[in-house]
Structure 1
């Protein structure tokens, strides 16, 4: 009998141990298949992952997040980084950290997006009146039984970067939207002339139809392929097949760079209050048959801030590279182009036959830009000297730099996403 009792006790102990194996640190059992929350390393210990990076950065100081969203957002003024993390199989929350230390500043409430919960919602940054905001958004049906386009909405959660104060905005929208925060408002559009602007401070929504765009007089091409591009301090930035304008503000024909055809301007990218545009040289002028002019315009006034020339043929419309601006605003890059907005100098990194060997994606306040070559070789480029340097093939280039810290998104062999931050060397 003693032997049987002992066996029973041992069996019970094994059963309890097995049941406790799925318990979390709070004693609650985790449901099968529940996603792991994002994990962060100690800033004092530095990132656990040590990538090969450009010599300007050290891998011994920084921080790391594992399991967060692929997209991240940066508030340059506040020096904050925002990213999404899973709370459950269908719920997410926004977390913000100090860019330099990795220390958590605040965490938003968990919510369930309208889109497929297998994927993270979208994330962006917008700034207005000296305030910065993180914005998460998703698109989907209002209810389970929604059957028509009238039941589809864009849901935006707008968070004050400083304190995490949250505002919810829901906007009926019939077709999958494009959403950006390139100006002092959140632009929701259909990719064409139909748009709405959400004020991040008040949550007020202003809708615009094609009839509201105030096409410039005498511009026939402005009414063809009309597209709302961005929000500026003076109003919507709009383009046609050729020429572009700010609704109620300036018109590209009146701000064209010297020596160009004033009716040829095509905006290709907008970033941090700057508009990058391609222009044809005046017919018959030197190099008109072989070169285009690329100019950076102030989005508020249309004034040309810098310019460069690149050989034709230009990149086909719809495939223009995005632009990136240094944190303090002096430098700008886009593909093979680099600009110093303080001196007005610009440079096109190209071969003699017009081949564009570089694709620059980020630039720092020191004027050093990073990107890749046509063969995906990592590269750095010194904009003040217009000199590129090939980096070793195993080097990872940063996605962005903020508060003297560079962010390096990376996916490991187990398909886990890491957001790694390395400090700039002293």
Structure 2
């Protein structure tokens, strides 16, 4: 097995590849069994998963697969149908394993490695560039040993989805980072306007300091509470206290949806290729005092795709409502909002007094969304605490209640719903139940 080593140094505006530190090539033959590499157990297939959760009737628990003892995160490549998860290995190390979501068969398995913060599982992302996809395991911690560390860094282990070829990229970083992958690179930000973008193909790192941010002409609000919100195929998405723009690209004031105050846009969440934004209704509009306009924008052009009026639901920019899309990208759900992007229709599920009726947590390519009526956010809806699980059809826009203890799919890929459950021994179970019919 060949190994290369890669280390990165931050220099000025562009962080250039300085020293090759670690690239491990891990191909095929991987096993989902734990053995001496960790507690992960085989993905059960022949007799179906041992764990039979109460799930929506569209799925069968008599077939599928199950992984026991995986880390809290997983990542999925929809184009290959491959799912990646982490297991613990001896020596405070971790190993990335993969499986085929359609069959549950084990795919390639990476070599064990130790992150800078070995006290907790690294987090996982999927990123795509140049028709290639990558799984990324990242963590944040100190370099060196002892009471006086050399510094802190974000460590990323980047795996080619097809064969497991691995590159490690280490980016010096101060303060807790936010790491996302909504564009063709891995974005590291500090929750404000400082950021770095890692190219998953080359490993090159580009640093964009807050002092280098260019603001749209005439936008004073852009200079207040400036924050990097995500990455698009055209560059970084930034916002101020109001209004948002792509660095070197479009400006929200020029792409505001019809009926909106063009100087009021605030992006709430970003998905690959899409931006969900909240707008004030234009002055003089009939419901300007009680409602807001929620719009889905194309991330490349900034143009609105579809919008809907809704009372002002709870909002925490960057976190809630979280935009969720299926593999095909044909639908988007967020909080109590649902959008059919192809039909260009939106719907706000709320009571007459403006209170939200439900919170959506997932949506499938077939146009079925899942959520809960009493959940505060998508994570709570997926926890399965028996608080009003529901399903919604984009064909009829009707909501139907599910039995109280129904577990909701976190996503669906290759015709298999992915569910998560923690047992009494505090072990996480990842389960794949096929859709029937």
TM-score, normalised to structure 2, is 0.87
* Structure 2 SS opposite 1:222: helix
Q: 1:87 aligns with which of 74, 86, 89?
A: 89
1: distance between equivalents of 2:329 and 2:372? 22
Matches of residues 16-95 of structure 1 in structure 2 within 5 Å? 36-88=38-90, 90-95=92-97
Contact 1:35 1:89 in 2 (8 A): no
Query: Which residue in the other structure is 1:137 paired with?
Result: 138
Identify if the C-alpha distance between structure 1 residues 301 and 197 changes in structure 2 by more than 3 Å, giving closer, same or farther.
same
Matches of residues 172-183 of structure 1 in structure 2 within 5 Å? 172-183=172-183
Query: Which residue in the other structure is 1:112 paired with?
Result: 114
Structure 1, unpaired ranges of 5+: 1-29
2: distance between equivalents of 1:253 and 1:36? 52
Query: Which residue in the other structure is 2:422 paired with?
Result: 411
Identify if the C-alpha distance between structure 1 residues 407 and 316 changes in structure 2 by more than 3 Å, giving closer, same or farther.
closer
Q: How far has the Cα of 1:45 moved from its partner?
A: 2.0
Contact 2:267 2:317 in 1 (8 A): no
Query: Which residue in the other structure is 1:191 paired with?
Result: 191
Q: How far has the Cα of 1:412 moved from its partner?
A: 1.0
Contact 1:93 1:111 in 2 (8 A): yes
2: distance between equivalents of 1:43 and 1:254? 53
Q: Could you give the per-residue CA deviations for residues 244-285 of structure 1, whole angstroms, max 9, x where no partner exists?
A: 000011100000000110000000011121000000001111
1:102 to 2:113 alignment? no
Q: How far has the Cα of 1:319 moved from its partner?
A: 5.3
Contact 2:313 2:355 in 1 (8 A): no
TM-score, normalised to structure 1, is 0.89
Contact 1:41 1:48 in 2 (8 A): no
Query: Which residue in the other structure is 2:359 paired with?
Result: 359
2: distance between equivalents of 1:146 and 1:258? 58
Query: Which residue in the other structure is 2:368 paired with?
Result: 368
* Structure 2 SS opposite 1:39: coil
Query: Which residue in the other structure is 2:209 paired with?
Result: 209
Query: Which residue in the other structure is 2:334 paired with?
Result: 334
Contact 1:133 1:200 in 2 (8 A): yes
Q: How far has the Cα of 1:131 moved from its partner?
A: 1.1
Stretch moving more, 269-278 or 88-97 = 88-97
Identify if the C-alpha distance between structure 1 residues 188 and 101 changes in structure 2 by more than 3 Å, giving closer, same or farther.
same
1:380 to 2:404 alignment? no
Identify if the C-alpha distance between structure 1 residues 144 and 406 changes in structure 2 by more than 3 Å, giving closer, same or farther.
same
1: distance between equivalents of 2:92 and 2:136? 19
* Structure 2 SS opposite 1:123: strand
Structure 2, unpaired ranges of 5+: 1-34, 376-386
1: distance between equivalents of 2:237 and 2:76? 23
Identify if the C-alpha distance between structure 1 residues 186 and 266 changes in structure 2 by more than 3 Å, giving closer, same or farther.
same
1: distance between equivalents of 2:72 and 2:276? 27
Q: How far has the Cα of 1:121 moved from its partner?
A: 1.1
2: distance between equivalents of 1:226 and 1:182? 19
Q: How far has the Cα of 1:407 moved from its partner?
A: 0.5
Query: Which residue in the other structure is 1:350 paired with?
Result: 350
Q: How far has the Cα of 1:116 moved from its partner?
A: 3.9
Q: How far has the Cα of 1:343 moved from its partner?
A: 1.2
Q: Find the structure with the greater CA-based Rg.
A: 1
Matches of residues 300-339 of structure 1 in structure 2 within 5 Å? 300-312=300-312, 314-315=314-315, 317=317, 320-339=320-339
1:154 to 2:154 alignment? yes
Identify if the C-alpha distance between structure 1 residues 146 and 305 changes in structure 2 by more than 3 Å, giving closer, same or farther.
farther
Query: Which residue in the other structure is 2:221 paired with?
Result: 221
Tell me how large the CA RMSD over aligned residues is.
1.6
1: distance between equivalents of 2:37 and 2:107? 23
* Structure 2 SS opposite 1:385: coil
